[in-house]
Structure 1
Amino acid sequence: MKIIPRYEFRAWGDDLDLAQARLLELGTGLERRQTSEVYIVSRAEETNVKIRAGILDIKRLLDRRNRLERWKPVFKVAFPVESQVLSTSVFPLLDVEAPPPAAGLLSEEEFVAVADRLEGMMAVPVQKARSLVSIGDCRGEAGIVTVDGGRYPTVAVESADPSAVEETIALLGIGGHPNESYPALLRRLRWA
């Protein structure tokens, strides 16, 4: 299966009620999801590492086009994970130096513990309540994200077509917000 990078725009804020309602009104194929995830965050702005449903999932920021970010999935593996994967695939992407872990398989919990102990890296538990829809040529999301007891409303739009994302941003009226990915939000909340 060919992996196609996607342009993404994500807004955060307590003033997104109208944009969320409009997205759900105009979108089709509504899916509601509630998930508990763990983000592995470092100072590397180009990497998005998360664990959801026992899967380690990594995306890389390829470039920026105006206010949009173009992300590409680069790595996905189910736990348990060979410890060698940390030193050869995960830590280099996070721009973190770490001693190679002992050989063998790591469970999700062991991986999170290793990541949380390293200088310049943190594991952040996140709860998401999301409504996902198709809107034009885009995938849209309205949700509430809970981090450290704080609730953060969000609206996101993504597509392989940057023009479609820009049109949907305008349609939803969220263009005045900055584009802030999950890792960027978590860095701001924890390291600001």
Structure 2
Amino acid sequence: MADKIIPRWEWRTFGKEFPAFAETLKKYGEPSVKRSEEHYILSRASDENIKIREDLVDIKSLKNVKDGLEQWDPIFKEGFPIDQGKLTSLFKVFNVPVPELKRSTYVYEQFLDEVIVPNSQLEVVYVKKVRYIYSINGCAVELAETEFNGKPFQTACVEHIDPAVVMATVNELGLQGQENINYIKAMKKSVGM
């Protein structure tokens, strides 16, 4: 039996840069570095986190909010080609009507070009990330360089299964007072949705 995934609590913020935070992180050693290119799909009728990375549709749903922190729960992972039944489930997450599906299955490009892009309720955002990840107090802590459709941002994040540990680490790293903004809110603001 697979291990049960325990959703983590997340604190995240976005800005042009975080020089003091970057300097503070240097005392915690060398980070692991992860690079990725992803497509996020934004819905005008939903704030769920829906992305495609490495040919896999990955959805996280906002499960809880506590003391300004957010707990996201993985609810859907599906590779391509993707069939009509899975697409119907996906459109329930988008909270928009299922369009006419002319194929029994869709590969990645067909899914984006024929199903997502023509839908006025949805918007695709091309995202590049370079994530510098540290382990501090048992938390995953990151400073990341991101681009949303070529527009650059930095993001700072602290994640852990215990919200008290997240907040203690946010305070230790001097990030308190910054607004907690998740990827979807930041993207929607960036693209004017």
Report what 1:49 is aligned to.
Answer: 50
Report what 1:16 is aligned to.
Answer: 18
The aligned amino acid for 1:160 is I
The aligned amino acid for 2:92 is P
Report what 1:186 is aligned to.
Answer: 187
Report what 1:99 is aligned to.
Answer: 99
The 3 A distance-change label for structure 1 pair 149 and 32 is same
Classify the secondary structure of the residue corresponding to 1:96: coil
Alpha-carbon shift at residue 116 of structure 1 (Å): 2.0
What is the count of residue pairs matched by the alignment?
Answer: 190
Classify the secondary structure of the residue corresponding to 2:190: helix
Greater Cα shift, 105-114 or 17-26: 17-26
Please tell me whether the aligned partners of residues 42 and 120 of structure 1 are also in contact (alpha carbons under 8 angstroms). Answer: yes
The aligned amino acid for 1:110 is Q
Alpha-carbon shift at residue 45 of structure 1 (Å): 4.9
Report what 2:130 is aligned to.
Answer: 129
Classify the secondary structure of the residue corresponding to 1:59: strand
- Alpha-carbon distance in 1 for matches of 2:151, 2:27: 27
- Deviant stretches of 4+, over 6 Å: none
The 3 A distance-change label for structure 1 pair 170 and 108 is same
Alpha-carbon shift at residue 53 of structure 1 (Å): 0.9
Classify the secondary structure of the residue corresponding to 1:167: helix
The 3 A distance-change label for structure 1 pair 86 and 153 is same
Alpha-carbon shift at residue 103 of structure 1 (Å): 4.1
Listed as ranges, the matches of 1:160-175 within 5 Å are 160-175=161-176
Please tell me whether the aligned partners of residues 134 and 140 of structure 2 are also in contact (alpha carbons under 8 angstroms). Answer: yes
Listed as ranges, the matches of 1:71-90 within 5 Å are 71-87=72-88, 89-90=89-90
Alpha-carbon shift at residue 115 of structure 1 (Å): 1.4
Please tell me whether the aligned partners of residues 9 and 165 of structure 1 are also in contact (alpha carbons under 8 angstroms). Answer: yes
Please tell me whether the aligned partners of residues 23 and 135 of structure 1 are also in contact (alpha carbons under 8 angstroms). Answer: no
TM-score (norm 2): 0.91
Classify the secondary structure of the residue corresponding to 1:117: coil
The 3 A distance-change label for structure 1 pair 97 and 45 is closer
Stretches of structure 2 lacking an aligned partner (at least 5 in a row): none
- Alpha-carbon distance in 1 for matches of 2:70, 2:50: 16
The aligned amino acid for 1:6 is R
The 3 A distance-change label for structure 1 pair 81 and 31 is same
The aligned amino acid for 1:25 is K
Alpha-carbon shift at residue 84 of structure 1 (Å): 2.1
- Alpha-carbon distance in 1 for matches of 2:32, 2:191: 30
- Alpha-carbon distance in 1 for matches of 2:28, 2:82: 41
Listed as ranges, the matches of 1:26-45 within 5 Å are 26=28, 30-45=31-46
Across the aligned residues of Structure 1 and Structure 2, the Cα RMSD in angstroms comes to 1.7
- Alpha-carbon distance in 2 for matches of 1:146, 1:104: 34
The 3 A distance-change label for structure 1 pair 24 and 102 is farther
The aligned amino acid for 1:172 is L
Alpha-carbon shift at residue 23 of structure 1 (Å): 3.0
